[in-house]
Structure 1
């Protein structure tokens, strides 16, 4: 009988998490640590040069000990790199947190770690009983009503949406075969990031940005190459949609609302367009089977803050059909979203 191999001594790095549950249990800690370094603009400082916690503390007035520990935690998650001598450097993921980074996610982090979303998430246990968003319970009114009366929160929401979609818009503009000539109407288009990307890539197109008056006032369309090719109009998607467009865009809107509100929006669009006019519904499209999809997490954000949801292809087909549209095709993009091309019947 051969002898059993001698047990190997444990090394400093041989420990593993006792359970994958730990990553979930500690999730809010990582999010809070991420918010802390973004608020204090630590990524902006590390973009200039790798620094120790002591050097960063001297520049910011923070405490070096707690800062080192938070940086170390986020280094484990790939946001920073911890080098010998306690020097921290940015990773590509951390670079996206810088104020001046192309496609910066700084505002997105500030929004999704804000009290508006933290308090909504805490309310999920009650949402399971009531079906109501945690946001409504925490703030006493729906999210968009709150934004309408809190300008600072509204600005954060709008800038975060712009940062989330800054790279996505270009991918959408590249993925769909837009016609050579058309007037594009971007319905509830926010500050116009998508419309700007479409008009920039397709110089023979013109466009109209339609959203809340306070949102379109702060639009992104005033660039030299787009001069004379765009208009803005303030209004309410539940009241009336501007007519006269050749192609309508509806990006990341339907997932904000329950089916009855989506039907109102889609019916208003149908009432504004002629038979044969195309509508591009740009949203995450969940698979009809149980296959995993990254937007399943986003679906929980909808559950806790709004009465909306992410939908499957079949569910989109039902909504559009009830509003007088027919799905022609679905075009995938390199982003989270797909492009559903629908035609007015």
Structure 2
């Protein structure tokens, strides 16, 4: 047996240099994750472990290349290589299955899509003042509306639902709605969050508010009780449904600059019933150098949403004040998305 001996002691500078080199390659993991999502590798492992050769045949991929991709992802516990050399599903990899209850496959494909990837790759252009609209000729939401369904079977709206599924579980169980309340999901996409809330709270009435082409695709029929919900098409920059008790805005405020946010929040303030509340559901950036997923999402927003940003608690407080609201509390849900509750000032 060959003995490997390495008693080299690295200096602090050498350790730091190697750390930086590794960070510069972090994007490779995202690329590998996109590859296995596109190939549907997780679906082929539902019935048990398989070798790279078997998976390559099933996915019409090159065996050697696929093995190397899976080997890398296994270092991050996305898939696992067992002692027999076969690859098997791990808990994270389960979420790549197309039939998983909270599948993240479409969400992974969306956030690693070429337009997202390119926006991050060209982030220096944004830092220097060029916007997504200047680069692509239309804003981020116009781009996805025009693009429609991709060749890989996802569009902005179902991919957004996929991306949000796991977060919604935390949000639904961490806010207590009074019995009989009416809840408006402002910019609620296909209604996944509202659906979860109505399922957990059987006395609530829900209103899904978004653009006509979005709400017409809603998922609320899955509730099995059409009397408890309605759709309301519209533009939140102009108005929102009136006289509701709660106005939820998940991943809405972070898409827009301060002035646009104030318009949206003011519309909610003017529409809500006496004693009503606004629930902004966004990451709250912590102070200092603490790692937080919100800081990663904030980089995406630099690239794709002109003026969009993740905000600190004090920044939410200031937005609310300018919209006639007062920050009442921030609820830590256990994931990176918090519930920032505002009441009438």
TM norm. shorter chain > 0.5: yes
Describe the shift of the 1:19–1:200 C-alpha distance in structure 2 as closer, same or farther (beyond 3 A): same
Shift of 1:171: 2.0
2:137 maps to 140
Give the C-alpha shift of residue 74 in structure 1: 1.4
Q: Is 1:212–2:208 an aligned residue pair? A: no
1:309 aligns with 2:322: no
Q: Which runs of 5+ in 1 are unaligned?
A: 1-6
Residues 1:245 and 1:288: Cα distance change in structure 2 (over 3 Å): same
SS at match of 1:329: strand
Q: Tell me the distance in 2 between the aligned counterparts of 1:141 and 1:224.
A: 36
Q: Is the Cα–Cα contact under 8 Å of residues 127 and 302 in structure 2 kept in the other structure?
A: no
Structure 1 equivalent of residue 12 of structure 2:
none
1:341 is aligned to 2:337? no
Report the CA distance between 1:242 and its aligned residue. Answer: 1.2
Name the structure 2 match of 1:149: 146
2:5 equivalent among 9, 12, 16: 9
TM-superposed deviation, 1:182: 1.0
Q: 2:29 matched to which residue of 1?
A: 30
Please show how residues 121-270 of structure 1 align to structure 2 within 5 Å: 121-130=120-129, 132-133=130-131, 135-152=132-149, 156-270=155-269
* Deviation string, structure 1 residues 190-243 (Cα, Å, up to 9, x no partner): 111111111111101101000111111111110254331000011111121111
Alpha-carbon distance change, 151 to 312 in structure 1, aligned in 2, over 3 angstroms: same
Per-residue CA deviations over 1:248-294 (Å, capped at 9, x if unaligned) read 11111100111111011112222222453211111111124554432
SS at structure 1 position matched to 2:46:
helix
Query: Contact conserved, 1:200 with 1:225, CA < 8 A, in 2?
Result: no
Q: How does 1:10-159 map to 2 (within 5 A)?
A: 10=6, 19-130=18-129, 132-133=130-131, 135-152=132-149, 156-159=155-158
Cα distance in 2, alignment partners of residues 84 and 170 from structure 1: 35
User: Against the structure 1 CA distance between its residues 334 and 164, is the aligned structure 2 distance closer, same or farther, given a 3 Å change threshold?
Assistant: same
Matched pairs, number: 333
Secondary structure at the aligned position of 2:227 is classed as coil
Per-residue CA distance 1:128-164 (angstroms, 9 max, x = gap): 222x34x334422210121222222695221222122
For the residues of structure 2 that align with 1:60 and 1:192, how far apart are their CA atoms? 33
Task: Tell me the CA shift for residue 340 of structure 1.
Answer: 1.5
Q: TM-score, normalised by structure 1?
A: 0.90
Q: How far apart, CA to CA, are the structure 1 residues paired with 2:86 and 2:28?
A: 23
Distance 1:80 1:290, change over 3 A: closer
Alpha-carbon distance between aligned partners in 2 of 1:290 and 1:230, rounded to the nearest angstrom: 43
Superposition CA RMSD, Å: 2.2
Matched residue SS, 2:18: coil
Please report how far the alpha carbon of residue 124 of structure 1 lies from its aligned counterpart in structure 2 after TM superposition. Answer: 0.8
Q: Is the 8 A contact 1:288 1:313 kept in 2?
A: no
Q: Give the whole-Å Cα distance in 2 for the aligned partners of 1:321 and 1:18.
A: 45
Structure 2 stretches of 5 or more lacking a match? 8-14
Which residue is 1:328 aligned to? 328
Kept in 1: contact 2:43–2:97 (CA 8 A): yes
| Partner SS state of residue 84, structure 1 | coil
**Distance change in 2, residues 1:184/1:95 (3 Å):** same
Give the SS at the match of 2:149. helix
| 3-state SS in 2 of match to 1:341 | strand
